[in-house]
Amino acid sequence: MGCGQANINFTHSATKYGIVGPSMGRHVWGHFALYDRCHRPSSPRGAEDLAREVVIYSSSASAPHFQSHSHSHFRALTLVRSVPAIKAMAARRLACSLLSRSRAACSPSLSRSVFGGDRIHGSASGVPRGLTTATAIEEPIQPPVQVNHTQLLINGQFVDSASGRTFPTLDPRTGEPIAHVAEGDVEDVNRAVIAARKAFDGGPWPKMTGYQRSCILYRFADLIEKHNDEIAALETWDNGKPYEQAAKAEVPTLARLMRYYAGWADKIHGLIVPADSPHHVQVLHEPIGVAGQIIPWNFPLLMFAWKVGPALACGNTIVLKTAEQTPLSALLVSKLFHEAGLPDGVLNVISGFGPTAGAALASHMDVDKLAFTGSTDTGKIVLELAARSNLKPVTLELGGKSPIIVMDDADIDQAVEVAHFALFFNQGQCCCAGSRTFVHERVYDEFVEKSKARALKRVVGDPFRKGVEQGPQIDEEQFSKILHYIKSGVDSGATLVTGGDRIGSKGYYIQPTIFSDVEDKMKIAKEEIFGPVQSILKFKDVNEVIQRANTTRYGLAAGVFTHNLNAANTFMRALRAGTVWINCYDVFDAAIPFGGYKMSGNGREKGIDSLKNYLQVKAVVTPLKNPAWL
């Protein structure tokens, strides 16, 4: 009766986002499906933008192969940066390696050196005029939201960092600071862990019934819905993802995930197991304790939900470190969580960098469990730190180089559209991006042509503008890395079908880029690019493509397009990946487990499997004296 006594007033309404039509049942990530549909060329909305983009890209396509701005653009970009922005960039680059603790190792010149010398062939003269002044470099739209929370959230209070230091979080559309955020470090992590420890060891949270916890999670979901647009705007501003994607898909999905986990809180069952001898054996599933969670910048709120939802449903307390690129939305929603009745200390949020705050959390002796989503290289470090400290169990959701296999009997138009979405969605910044598209030789040319046409129609621009499908990349580092990979693709002999360059001279916009004739040994076919670069490879038969698809250190996801039931079943079993999507991709329902084989990580998020990450198993054995039966 927790709900009644706590006087929690549930007011669910079928809001414009919360409930979509019957399509949700069929297409599991209904919101994303919705989003996808509204950006098809047939959509009347954004037709004007589409037309403009088509013009831009068709002129780009008329200039064969690679075009680029001279690298002076980049130099100029670097030079106009404010000093704090430069410092922040340096810090971000640092964060790419947790073990590299020396700030001196990084300097602004790094970004120039990436593009130095003859890095990109092609000439500025080949660039159509229209492209450099593309829609992407319009005056940025003023985001309809204010930044109200920039401090650390410890024990239910917003507080400055122990050092008093802050760092700027940047607008990916411009590279300019949005806000200065408290920079958490070892001491702040210690304080947060103490708060979480206290909340776990003595606080009300783990002692509540599952049903009482579920009521708070449900109420949080209601508050997310109420503040949908505000949260979405903040997410877009900090991350650069299209506002419509944030507002219509991601924030509603955050609410959906919270409701899903709310429903689990009172349904966590252990087994009573049979004994060989007269013993009564109970298996209890208990919360593991203080969970440290480190989340990435590509889907800040969804990663928040994947981590926080199951941990709290199971009764744990949390210290969450957000990505330094995107600290803002987690602070806002965590405040709402406290409004929903979350006790102090249960969820602590530390903004900061990997080598400092992240490393402190991973190596903390009083953190009972660690969950990390990010790159495989950083995942290794996190696992090492856990091993070197208190052997805390670690779940990792890491990188991928996920194959998509298009058979010759597939619906090619559908496969083109879905493979396009699978790669370009979220600016290509998805761990499960379909970044190796294997197409059967009989349909290869058609597929490449149609993929090119689709990429040319992709609407790139200010993510706050209606109808935009693709915003800027997250930051300078990623932006440079992607352009570097594009150069590598060209250098290694792949055919640049379309794109290949940045858009505009401000912000981190990159053209939707496609390579054909990609070979397995090329760097672009082996390494995670994390950007809008699609690689299309050719194959002849099923066994060959299975073998090639599995020849990777990753195993996060795979896509298969075929109408052949037996082929589908063969692929389903043979592909070494945590998710196999057949005739679809990126279907992310709350109940579908997600995670990696091989070096894509371990553990599963979402679904019932995710609960295991946050539960200890206790077997209780006691003799039975003369029971009637066993």
What residues make contact with another protein under the rule CB under 8 A?
Answer: 1, 3-4, 9-14, 18-19, 22, 24-25, 30, 210-211, 214-215, 218, 256, 259-260, 262-267, 269, 280, 542, 565-566, 569-570, 572-574, 590-591, 608, 622-630
SS3 547: helix
Of 79 and 591, CB closest to another protein: 591
Whole-number minimum distance, CB 255 to another protein, in Å?
Answer: 10
* Residue 459 in tokens: 């609407």
Of 266 and 384, CB closest to another protein: 266
228-239 and 251-265 helices, crossing angle to 10°:
120
Whole-number minimum distance, CB 253 to another protein, in Å?
Answer: 11
Whole-number minimum distance, CB 204 to another protein, in Å?
Answer: 19
SS3 280: strand
User: Active-site residue 244, yes or no?
Assistant: no
Of 359 and 567, CB closest to another protein: 567
Rounded to 5 degrees, what angle do the CA atoms 594, 424, 523 make? Answer: 85
* Residue 206 in tokens: 């783990």
* Separation CA 92–CA 323 (nearest Å): 10
307 residue type, one letter: K
* Residue 123 in tokens: 């000439």
Of 123 and 282, CB closest to another protein: 282
Whole-number minimum distance, CB 591 to another protein, in Å?
Answer: 6
| Phi, psi angles (nearest 5°) of residue 596 | -110, 150
Of 259 and 364, CB closest to another protein: 259
> Which alpha helices (H) appear in 63-138, and where do they start and end?
72-79, 83-95, 109-114, 129-132
How is residue 102 annotated by DSSP?
Answer: -
Of 333 and 575, CB closest to another protein: 575
Distances (CA, A) of 251 to 88, 215, 234, 283, 474: 28, 20, 11, 36, 19
Which listed residue (250, 324, 397, 469) is catalytic?
A: 397
Of 166 and 583, CB closest to another protein: 583
Whole-number minimum distance, CB 445 to another protein, in Å?
Answer: 28
Residues paired with residue 498 on neighbouring β-strands, in sequence order: 514
Three-state secondary structure string covering 517-534: CCCCCCHHHHCCCCCCEE
Whole-number minimum distance, CB 19 to another protein, in Å?
Answer: 6
Q: Which residue from 420, 484, 423, 428 is spatially nearest to 456, judged by alpha carbons? A: 420
Q: Which long-range contacts (CB under 8 A, 24 or more apart) does 16-19 make?
A: 17/225, 17/228, 17/247, 17/248, 17/251, 17/252, 17/255, 18/225, 18/252, 18/255, 18/256
Q: For residue 538, what are the contacts with CB-CB under 8 A and spacing of at least 6?
A: 438, 439, 440, 441, 444, 517
385 residue type, one letter: L
Whole-number minimum distance, CB 135 to another protein, in Å?
Answer: 37
* Separation CA 77–CA 112 (nearest Å): 10
The residues that are catalytic are 397
